[in-house]
Structure 1
């Protein structure tokens, strides 16, 4: 490896040293560092060679001043499922790992009267390049408007398209739930329970629409007693399981709007001496680690949340991720979920 030249007199090299070695202006060096599109390949290579030779390290504070932004992307969320947030974060970090960007995570309270003021103040103080909004707050048009007013790029994540492709990454919850429930019907199940997601969540509404679409396609209509409230937490699954499996005529299968609640339903079934899947088939949603940590392994819908995090980051800051990053406009903003069949589904007895 060649020795680095260093700055004059052994001092830390400066942007002026880089400019002198490359034979360009200080402004041109700054444009190369900040990945401007308006630089020729020849000039870019010359400046990058000078940076490598001198061992120059750009000053992040100076870059932030030049951009009038910190090299941060913010993740705003109010989500009851910690695993969802964690998986999304990992996807974002996958996308920005070789860049100068850092991830800033901010929980918010969607029920607060001060939500909009708090988010505005946060963005004004932190000055991120962009913000990613997880559901359900991604469904709030006023938050997107705040980002626009402050000149902050934004991406809204959801279970259905919430904005145009520049500002949205979504999945196809309705269609894939209809497919999964259709498989239960094809196996012979006619009395199928449904555990809802939290009220006010677009994901909960989309998944219920998919459930009802599958029933309608098969000419089925189910009583209200087979619909149970839920909030994406394990305890809600336990409560739903107790209610449904105590019915005089319990369901032979249950579709549950996420894996945590599905685990709660399965626990109740085991406690009542029921065999899964011989006495009760169960399908969840997410394909979280929970799905394979319980017995029998849970059939579920794989929600590509980590990939959605990576896609959201690329959509937000593709110009900061270097030439190797795939252009955001080359990618479909709708990322399909897939049904994963495991051991928790079987035909009903008899």
Structure 2
């Protein structure tokens, strides 16, 4: 007889079915966002770039999907898709850290919600090959444009190189050096003149000046503005009362030691920036010279350091954050040198605090 086939029942509930392993979620691509929002990739791109060609209902649907999956467009990938980069570069050679930080804050103010990102390139403009380094930076990052910060903004050879390779740029400088649509002019000469007028109005006549490096156009402008303003009021600065320094705290200390070491000390010192003015404070404290009772001090830039010194430092305020914002905004125009952009100016002005008073004699 044929063997009867026996059916063995499955062991009900003997073992739970093994869970299906889910692969970890991958970052969503622009194609994923388009599929989930039921629109084309081109529509998603238009939403990302704030195009007015997208209906509000569609825009909101795409943005909701992007938020749901924390989708952030990759600037480099966007650059490939649009044949241009969504990166703004900032090139600088400046020894004052706070100045650079404030400049970056201003640039970030300008590009916020624009889809652009900021990349920075510190360099040493004393190095003969530094322009080649900037050239590589621009080409490797495929930059949309470059902000040039003093002192590199004053280098015409650098500006010429950028123009030759077709890279848009904006320049920040104390005087006009280029086409109006590329310039942010800071008028440093006027700010220094205001500091000179203030010290003279207090009755100071034996005044000393600590300048920035001679390689900086801003140092020339601040020196000229200060010296000329005093000269108009009949006060001449002898060469011994003018000391060149390097826009750093340490160089301010060295300069102040020269000016305050003799018996015939000046009654007031104007320093070309706040870092050097802080150096004056250190030397005065070490020498037992009281500020402002025995020595009045004025700085330039009105950085956060000015209000943190004791006594609080009178300083010429330069709106550095605004300068960075304007320079970055120029690069976001549709075309380099667009007619819609005129030259920009910021005006320095003196902020009077507690570091000055009439001379004791």
**Shorter chain as normaliser: what TM range?**
0.7 to 0.9
- Report if aligned partners of 2:96, 2:248 keep a CA contact under 8 Å in 1: yes
CA distance in 1, matches of 2:302, 2:195: 13
TM-superposed deviation, 1:257: 0.3
Contact 2:174 2:187 in 1 (8 A): yes
Give the deviation of 1:52 after TM superposition.
3.1
Structure 1 residue aligned with 2:354: 343
| Whole-angstrom distance in 2 between the partners of 1:258 and 1:66 | 45
Residue among 233, 242, 248 paired with 1:218: 233
Q: Please provide the CA RMSD for this pair.
A: 2.7
Residue deviations 1:49-102 (CA, integer Å, cap 9, x gap): 452365495753542113323321111111111111111111112222323211
Could you say if the C-alpha distance between residues 123 and 272 of structure 1 is closer, same or farther in structure 2, counting changes exceeding 3 Å? same
Contact 2:145-2:169 at 8 Å conserved across structures: yes
Corresponding pairs, count: 326
Q: Deviations over 1:99-140 (max 9, x none)?
A: 321111111121112122111111111101111111111111
State the distance in 2 between where 1:255 and 1:313 align.
Answer: 31
Q: Does 1:156 align with 2:167?
A: no
What is the correspondence of 1:153-302 to structure 2 with a 5 Å cutoff?
Answer: 153-302=168-317
Pairwise CA distance, 1:28: 6.5
8 Å contact 1:161–1:334 — kept in the other structure?
no
Query: Quick check: 1:193–1:251 contact (8 Å CA) kept in 2?
Result: yes
* Residue 95 (structure 2) pairs with residue 84 (structure 1): no
CA shift digits 1:262-310 (9 cap, x unpaired): 1111221222222211111100011112212221111001111111111
Change (3 A) 1:69 1:185: same
- Given the alignment, which residue of 313, 319, 343 partners 1:304? 319
| Matches of 2:238 and 2:200, distance apart in 1 | 16
Deviations 1:215-269 (A, max 9, x none): 1210221211101111011121112211111233221111000111111112212
- 1:14 deviation in Å? 4.8
- Unpaired runs of 5+ in structure 1? 1-10, 321-326
Structure number with higher helix proportion: 1
Quote the Cα distance in structure 2 between the aligned partners of 1:175 and 1:72.
Answer: 34
| Equivalent position SS for 1:194 | strand
Conservation of the 8 A alpha-carbon contact between 2:33 and 2:66:
no
- Runs ≥4 residues deviating over 6 A: none
Question: Is 1:108 paired with 2:119?
Answer: no
Contact 1:315 1:328 in 2 (8 A): no
Say which SS state the counterpart of residue 157 (structure 1) adopts.
strand
Q: TM-score, normalised on structure 1?
A: 0.84
**C-alpha distance in structure 2 between counterparts of 1:173 and 1:218, whole Å:** 20
Q: Distance in 2 between matches of 1:12 and 1:309?
A: 36
C-alpha spacing 1:42/1:85, structure 2 compared with 1 (3 Å): closer
State the Cα deviation string for residues 4-61 of structure 1 (Å, max 9, x = none): xxxxxxx96454776x74xxx865764564456xxxx464546524523654957535
